[in-house]
Amino acid sequence: QVQLVESGGGSVQAGGSLRLSCAVSGRVYIRNSMSWFRQAPGKEREAVAAIDSRSTTDYADSVMGRFTISQDNANNILYLQMNSLKPEDTAMYYCAADLDRLSSGGSWYAIPTYNYWGQGIQVTVSS
């Protein structure tokens, strides 16, 4: 059974950096795309960044130029390098993946595109 487990969250001051990791356990036969979402208290879950099987990336406008998504296919790990963090980046961050099926064909920023989700990890940025 495939599971996604996030790590690397925590508290940091504005302007600081964090790197999130998402380890994929279990056997994966088809990897379509993976992404990071986040959800702040009282707000809807939103897409942050995504990467597909060809390593093509997409980013939300709010993180463009500050965050970098990458993947280590050999070790089944997804990363999110977050630089120049702002208080508005404070949220629970979720790893998501579209695995082991024909590609859903959905937009990278749409929740239904992904069929596996991690439990989430907290990122807090103080001013």
Reported as a single tens digit per residue, the pLDDT across 72-124 is 988 899 999 999 999 999 999 999 999 988 877 889 999 999 999 999 999 99
Determine the pLDDT at residue 102.
Answer: 85
Report which residue type is found at 69: I
> Position of tokens 């463009």?
64
Are 46 and 59 contacting, i.e. CB atoms less than 8 angstroms apart?
A: no
| Percent of the chain whose pLDDT exceeds 90 | 87
Count of CB atoms within 10 A of residue 74's CB?
Answer: 6
How is residue 110 written in tokens? Answer: 């749409």
Q: What is the pLDDT of residue 15?
A: 98
Identity of residue 37: F
pLDDT value at residue 104: 75
Q: Which residues pair with 115 in a beta bridge?
A: none
CA atoms of 59 and 41, how far apart (whole Å): 21
- Is the CB of residue 115 less than 8 Å from the CB of residue 101? yes
Average pLDDT, the chain: 95
